[in-house]
Each structure stands twice: as C-alpha cells, then as structure tokens.
Amino acid sequence: MDQSESNSEPTTEFTFDRKKIIANLIDLIPKMKDLREKSKEIISTLQEPKLQVLAPDSKVIENDLKKICSVPHRRIGTEEAHEIENYLEKTVKELGLENVHKETFEVINWVGTDWKLSIKANNKVIEIPCFYVLNTEFTDKKGITAPLIYVGTGSKKDFKKRDVNGKIVVADIEFPTFPVGKIIKMAEPYYVSDPQKSFDESTEMILTFVLSNFLPQTLGEKPREDTVYWRAVRGGALGLILILRDAPTNINSHWGPYDGSMKPVPALYVGKYDGMKVRELAQVENSQGTLILNGYKEISNANNIWGILPGQSEEMYMISTHTDSAFEGASEDGIGVAMVLAQLRAWSKIPKEQRPKSLLFVLTAGHLYGGKGAEIFAKKYRDTLLKKVIVDVNLEHMCAKEVEEDPETHNYRFTNNLAIGAVFLTHDETLVALTTKAFKDHNIERMLLIPENFFNTPPIGEAGHFTTHSDLKVIHWIRNPYYLLTAEDTLDKIAMDKLNQTAQCVTDLINSLMHLSN
C-alpha cells in the first residue's frame, strides 16, 4: 500500500473512510441502543438542580464575539493572534478566573504576501483567480513557468500514466459527502435534535474541512505519501494548481490542510468554476502556467490561556475551545471563544460555596497548526491537572448558519436553518442522558448526539486532540458550515438570535453535571 511509515505519535487527524465508518457503525449500533435505553431511565429520574444559573443575554455574547473577530484573522504566531490572546488573558482575569496561565510555545509563522496564476494557451494569456495553499514553498518574484499537466484526482494510478517531472501539476481536490439522513435511519444516534423536522432520508452534508486526496500529516512526522501533493513532489513537479472541485460555490480561499507542516513545492487553489477553465487549458497542447507565490517564514510563538474558577471540590469540569482562525473566523472559532466566555460570565456570578465542583477554562492556540496547543496542554497536564477533570465540555462553531450554493449566482445563500452538527460523547449513559435532556429542554436545532468514535476516529475538532493525548471524557459540540476555513466565515454567518438559547443550554448542562452527586 502506498503509505508513509507509521507515525510514532497517535494521529488525531480526521479521515473519511466509508468502509471503515460503516464497519465501525455496525459495531456501535447495539451499543448506542443500549445507552439510549439507559439514558431514558436516567432522564425519568432526574431532578432539576435547585441552583439557577443564567447565561448572559445575546447582546453580551455578541459583543464578545465582535471583539474576538475585530482583527482580520487570528493566524497562529501573528500580531493579530497575539492581540486577541492578550485581550482574552485580560478579560478572563477581570471576570474572576483565578491562577490564570498564559503558556507560550514556538511555531513557524508562514505568511503569503503575493500570489498569482496565469496560463498561456492558444497564444493567449489568461489570469485565473486563486489563493495560496498554506505552508507550501515560496517562489521568487517572477514565479515558476512550466508546462501544465492534468492528473485527475492524483491517485496512484493517475500518476503512473503521466510524467510530471519539471511540470506544474493540475489536480482536482475531493471533498466527501456525508449522507446524514441515511445514517440517521441506519445507525439511530443517541439522539437526533431536530425540532423543526428538517432532516429526511435525502439530507446530506459536504465535509468541506476534509480534503480526501490532500490529507494532513501529523506534525513532525513523515509526509503522507498517499496524497496528490506528495505524489507530485516525488514525481519532480515544480508546483501544483489544485481545483476545489467538490466545494460549494467558486470560493478558492481554503485554509488547509492545516497541519503546521512546511511543504517543499509551491501550490495554489482555484475555485470549482474557475477550475473548469484551468482543467480545459491544461489539456491544450503546449499550454504553460506561471505560478507566483511570494512570502516569508519566521519563528514566532503562540499562547494557551487557562485558569480555574474554584468550587467546593478540586474535581473539575473543563470548558474549552481554540482561539486561532484563518480569516475573520466568526464560526471557526470566534463563537466558540464567545461561548466559553459566556460560561465564565455565568458561573463567576455564583458564589464559590454554591459551585459544587471547580471549573477549568482552557483556550488553546494552534488548532489550525495540527492542534499543537491542545496537544501540548494535554501532554503537559494529563498526569496532574487533567486527572481532576471529570468531563471536558468543548464548544466549536455554535450558532453557525447553514448555507447552500445559489445555482444562478454560484455564491452562498442562507437556508434559514442552522448548519448541521454533532455532539461527540464519551460512552457514558449519564453524559448521554444529561446532554439529551438539555437539548430537548432548549430545542437545539439540527444536531446529532453520537459516540466520540462514531467516524472510527477521535472526535472531530479540538476535543480530538485532548482525548488522544489524555484520558478525558468529552461532551464536544461542533457544527459544519460550508464556509469553515474560508474568507466567507464572517459575522453575518452567526445566528445572533440563538446566542442566549445556546449558551443557556450549555449552562444548564454544566449545572446538571455539577449537581450529579449532590
């Protein structure tokens, strides 16, 4: 099999392997059924906590979100990221978090400053809109000019038929589609939270964060040789033009794969519809491309921020998310940070003697750098601080609006729904019961409650890094809007009218967890 050697570190990267997912689901179905029944029994005996804890109103959460998104991006190691990290450190202290730590780690700040793609064919030169592929090598100011060669999706078979040495490779990037409706019918998750009855058997979701043929590599490990990029590099290609074939709309600003690994050959993304022209031109005899990617790399740093809100016990519940973003990052993950702050605002108003357990608040950097911040935190504290953590409640992409491609304009348009999402849960009937009840009580839209290993991988998102490198149980809330990792991830994509409802659901869930044994 065309694979790199096995990694010395366990991988947290998500891969979509249909055969493995189905085989895993066949094993999970009876387990989910058993936990569903047990959770129903628990719900029937639950009593409401006597303590009422109120989440902030929507305007407060919105103001936090706008501040977090007030810089153009929060890319790791940049001044913009540092500005927001400093703001968050100051804010959590003001809100009453104790023993606040700001822990620094080293990263490479990769900055693209200028990029351009032009193609000469049939004695004409055409400029194609494009965006850089993160962490690939830079060219000089003139760029690289070379013959184009189209390799389909860049499978092993595709490359066997073609000599790419000294050429610019043109390839299609694949995004998988997840058949949500069919999986609901087949697998019966712990709970389907869909009060509007918006799901049916035809409901599907494109996983735009999964580049099936350009998979990430584990940070610090050998390249993934089973990808179009590394096949092109091994074949002697001078550069790559990657067409986002399966993405909705003609967007080209994709921030992936976000593994933090520097790569030796320059590459550019082009959108689906621009890619049709590129594909056509690449197959014209004697066509040539000129690829320019200028920029610089520098050693920089990023910061994890964490602290404790003490309660009557040193046992803790952890509330976490990541702070970095590729662009404005309203959903990825400005809203997650705002929701973590909302929980701190809510619980800091409760006297210490009325908090049965302590709360550990963790804001990590480097999610878009192979999860480096979360992994550093988990490895450093797995045998000390994290041994006191009962459950990690991780919050990402909450209140993100659903979009679809407008067939006339080929731009995004809103659907009046929230983006489909999931809560990944450790196999525990109590966690399933309390999360199910909270979702029912607050009519949370379009979410599946599923086991943490539902996809035969760690949970998708920051929680996956925590569970892989420590023994944490998780309640991990995440949605999948199509504009994740793109320049379209802006404040208008967040359903501001859902902020308080969503935050209160999380607050009530934590309140139920707090009072389990009291």
Q: pLDDT, tens digit, for every residue of 194-235?
A: 999 999 999 999 999 999 999 998 877 788 888 999 999 999
CA–CA separation, 482 vs 495, rounded Å? 15
Residue 120 reports pLDDT greater than 50:
yes
Would the pLDDT of 517 be above 70? Answer: no
In degrees and rounded to multiples of 5, residue 139 shows phi and psi of -100, 175
d(C-alpha 393, C-alpha 318), whole Å: 6
Q: Tell me the pLDDT band of 254, cut-offs 50, 70 and 90.
A: very high
What's the predicted TM-score (pTM) here?
Answer: 0.94
pLDDT in tens, 80-109: 999 999 999 999 999 999 999 999 999 999
Q: Is the pLDDT reported for residue 518 higher than 50?
A: no
pLDDT of residue 262: 94
SS (H, E, C) 306-352: EEEECCCCCCEEEEEEECCECCCCHHHHHHHHHHHHHHHHHHHCCCH
Kindly give the pairing relationship between strand 288-309 and strand 144-150: antiparallel
User: Radius of gyration over alpha carbons of the chain, in Å?
Assistant: 23
Q: CB neighbours of 197 closer than 8 A, spacing ≥ 6?
A: none
Report the DSSP beta bridge partners of residue 241.
Answer: 170, 268
Q: So what's the pLDDT on residue 515?
A: 85
Average pLDDT value for residue range 155-169: 95
- The residue assigned the tokens 């194609």 is 128
pLDDT recorded at residue 294: 98
Q: What percent of the chain has pLDDT over 90?
A: 88
pLDDT at position 274 is 97
Q: Is the pLDDT of residue 424 over 80?
A: yes
Domains of the chain, by residue range, sit at: 18-108+299-514, 110-177+206-297
Q: Which amino acid would we find at residue 119?
A: I
User: Mean pLDDT, the chain, as a whole number?
Assistant: 94
Q: Please report, for residues 81, 104, 339, the alpha-carbon distance to residue 374 in angstroms, rounded to integers and kept in the order given.
A: 16, 12, 18
| pLDDT, tens only, 4-51 | 333 455 556 677 778 888 899 999 999 999 999 999 999 999 988 889
Per-residue confidence (pLDDT) for residue 176, from 0 to 100:
95
Fold of 110-177+206-297: Glucose Oxidase; domain 1 (3.50.30)
pLDDT at 7: 43
Instruction: Please state the length of the chain.
Output: 518
Q: Residue 38 and residue 32: Cα distance in Å, rounded?
A: 10
Burial 343-360 (b: 16+ CB within 10 A, else e): bbbbbbebeeeebbbbbb
Domain 18-108+299-514: top CATH class:
alpha beta
Q: What's the pLDDT score for residue 10?
A: 57
- Who has greater pLDDT, 375 or 2? 375
CA dihedral for 258, 264, 270, 272, sign (positive or negative): negative
Encoding tokens for residue 122?
Answer: 């049939």
pLDDT for 349 beyond 90: yes
- Mean pLDDT (whole number) for 432-439: 97
Cα–Cα nearest to 309, from 381, 361, 346, 353: 361
479 and 193 Cβ atoms separated by less than 8 Å: no
